[in-house]
Chains A and B, each alone.
Chain A
Amino acid sequence: MKAFRCSRTGLLYPEDYVEEWGRKYGIGLGSVPVSEALVNDYHRPPVGSSDTGMHALSVARAQVDLCEVTPAEFEENKAIVDAEDVGYRHRAPLMRAKQLIKSGDMMNKYPASVQWAKDHLKAIADEKAAAIKKIAAVK
């Protein structure tokens, strides 16, 4: 299937991304179709309270390229569309999780999918559980 890939984050947008630019996608982003994916801005210190603080988010505004992907690949790297996530209720926690997991340079590594963030969160939780088990065994 056809999809548009954000050249910065690797996230995939539906086939009608360019055709529906300014209607379903990219509202407020100008006339030229670019990626509306969110990226983390590590150049500035985190703001907010200790439990919710995070580096600021910004729009990638990167080039989008038409590509051929498998449905499974699309599903795995599908971007959350801006119009369906008002106020970043879904994306902000994921972006914050990514900030907690990796350093700035790793954040832009392809693929930056939702699944990728979830997998890494799970990996950290598993590692912690294993460490607790190990300590308990020593005791």
Chain B
Amino acid sequence: MNVCMQGQSSVAANSSTDNVLTGQRYERAPWPALGSLYVNGSATGLRAELNVGGVSITPPIVCNIQNRSPVVPDDILIGNWEVMPNSLLQLTITNTTAGALTAFWRVELQEVSVPGLNA
């Protein structure tokens, strides 16, 4: 089974967002999965950081500046990261500029079969 979360978040100048996945249906993975992260910025200066179950998947990394919702697979930042059932996904965006910017993000989860872990 594949699931996806996608959205846009405005990030104020010189600041970081809280977890942009907060309140999303799959903020906590329902089953073991492999994930893919896509993030675009509206202009130069955004950094994305992903933590899964307390494990850092990426340090803050530069997003591209396509100024649109992510296109699969062109805009992938990192794929095939492991997600354990019920682990919390945390995606934070940092704006390093003096102007507000918009981040366009997309998280895909692909269920994988792990004996003893699937419901």
Q: Please report B residues at the A interface, Cβ cutoff 8 Å.
A: 8, 10-13, 15, 42-45, 64-65, 67, 96-102
Contacts and interface: CB of A to CB of B under 8 A. Distances in A.
Contacts of A49: 12
Nearest to A53: B12
Interface string A50-63: 00111111110100
23 contacts: A28-B65, A38-B43, A38-B99, A41-B42, A44-B102, A47-B12, A48-B12, A48-B100, A49-B12, A53-B12, A54-B13, A56-B100, A57-B101, A58-B67, A59-B42, A59-B43, A59-B67, A87-B98, A88-B45, A88-B97, A88-B98, A92-B13, A92-B98
B12 to A, nearest CB: 4
A95 to B, nearest CB: 6
Interface of A: 28-29, 38, 41, 44-49, 52-59, 61, 82, 87-89, 91-93, 95-96
A51 to B, nearest CB: 11
A89 B98 contact: yes
Contact of A57 (B15, B43, B64): B43
A53 B15 CA distance: 12
A44 B10 contact: yes
Q: What secondary structure prevails in chain B residues at the interface with A?
A: loop
Given A28-B44, A47-B12, A48-B12, A95 B65 contact: no
A57 B12 CA distance: 10
B11 to A, nearest CB: 7
The residue among A46, A56, A91 with the most chain B CB atoms within 10 A of its own CB is A56
B99 A95 contact: yes
B102 A41 contact: yes
Contacts of A56: 10-11, 42, 99-102
Nearest to A55: B100
Contacts of B102: 41, 44, 56, 58
Contact of B99 (A61, A82, A91): A91
